[in-house]
Structure 1
Amino acid sequence: MSLAMTPAEREAFLAEVHVAVVSVADDDGRGPLAVPLWYDYQPGGDIVLVTDRNSRKVELVRKAGRVTVCVQEQEMPYRYASVEGAVITIEGTVTVERRWELARRYLGREGADGYVEATRDATARMCAIRIRPEHWLTRDYTKAA
């Protein structure tokens, strides 16, 4: 029996709320950069990251043109999905409304209101990175039970 998720299972899992660890190659002789980020994903679509456009990670993403996004469920039985893909676009601006929608995904409506208000000045520095999933590596240990 395979512990790999089916395409429908992996897309549904990635669409759940997880913090992603995003990895991107570094060309300065250092190891790949790996950072935790909130993300948005709808089954069959692209992965969207919202982050500071002046950050080291965005500079590396621009150079590499590819990233790996890994999400996991920490409770047993363990499940994870690691997705590699091409960067389709880096949108140079992000609206407050877009940031609020992402924050709502993670914090709920009330938490999103507080988070966006407390970080309102950050909106002008944000960009949205769109990644097209191409290669998946998944495990679902609930299938072993």
Structure 2
Amino acid sequence: MPRQLTDSERTDFLAQQHIAVLSVASNDGRPPLTVPVWYALREDGELTFFTNTQGRKSRKTLLLHHAGQFSLCVQQPQFPYKYATAECTVVRADRSPSVDEVFAITSRYLPEEAARQFAEAETANPAGVFVLFTAHPDRWHTLDFA
């Protein structure tokens, strides 16, 4: 029988290299926007992710500013299946994040040198469209099929 993850199991699961799927409500009559994102779970329990890379504006940023909340799902697609879904409130949208804040995310997905270069390139233009979001998970839903 599937069971819920404990808090420590959820933290361990989220620390693994997974790509999250973010969903945010639309404000223009369209369905919710659902997109993959790189993320990091901070020690204080808040989630961070970024958008608008390489100078491209995204609909996601506008919707997150408008809604102020979103859902994020992280899953393990091979058996034993697991997932953790968080209902989150945006607590910060930083258009001038530090290299270290961005590197905390990129280093989870890229080799160290590439992760550092990515973080430096994206933070080099503080007047750009790049945004680092921080969110507080209000509710968790988890399941483990192990």
Q: Residue 36 of structure 1 corresponds to which residue in structure 2?
A: 36
| Kept after mapping to 1: 8 A contact 2:49/2:105 | no
Counterpart CA distance in 2 for 1:9 and 1:43 is 15
Deviations 1:102-123 (A, max 9, x none): 2211113144256457xx2x43
Counterpart CA distance in 1 for 2:102 and 2:6 is 31
Q: Residue 134 of structure 2 corresponds to which residue in structure 1?
A: 130
Percentage of pairs with the same residue: 37
When structure 1 is superposed on structure 2, of 34-43 and 103-112 the one drifting more is: 103-112
Which residue type is aligned with residue 139 of structure 1?
L
When structure 1 is superposed on structure 2, of 15-24 and 122-131 the one drifting more is: 122-131
Which residue type is aligned with residue 130 of structure 2?
M
Question: Offset of 1:95 from its aligned partner?
Answer: 3.2
Unaligned runs of 5+ in 1: none
Deviations 1:55-100 (A, max 9, x none): 2101000110101110011221110001011111111212334333
Give yes or no for the alignment of 1:48 onto 2:51. Answer: no
| Kept after mapping to 2: 8 A contact 1:11/1:43 | no
| Kept after mapping to 1: 8 A contact 2:2/2:145 | no
| Kept after mapping to 2: 8 A contact 1:15/1:43 | no
Query: Equivalences for 1:42-81 in 2 at 5 Å?
Result: 42=42, 44-52=44-52, 54-81=57-84
Query: Equivalences for 1:1-145 in 2 at 5 Å?
Result: 3-42=3-42, 44-52=44-52, 54-113=57-116, 115-116=118-119, 120=121, 122-123=122-123, 124=125, 125-142=129-146
| Residues matched between the structures, number | 139
Give 3-state SS (helix, strand or coil) of 2:27's partner: coil
Counterpart CA distance in 1 for 2:33 and 2:138 is 20
Which residue type is aligned with residue 136 of structure 2?
R
Counterpart CA distance in 1 for 2:82 and 2:66 is 31
Q: TM-score, normalised by structure 2?
A: 0.83
Give 3-state SS (helix, strand or coil) of 2:36's partner: strand
Question: Offset of 1:4 from its aligned partner?
Answer: 1.1
Unaligned runs of 5+ in 2: none
Which residue type is aligned with residue 33 of structure 1?
L
Q: TM-score, normalised by structure 1?
A: 0.84
| Kept after mapping to 1: 8 A contact 2:33/2:60 | yes
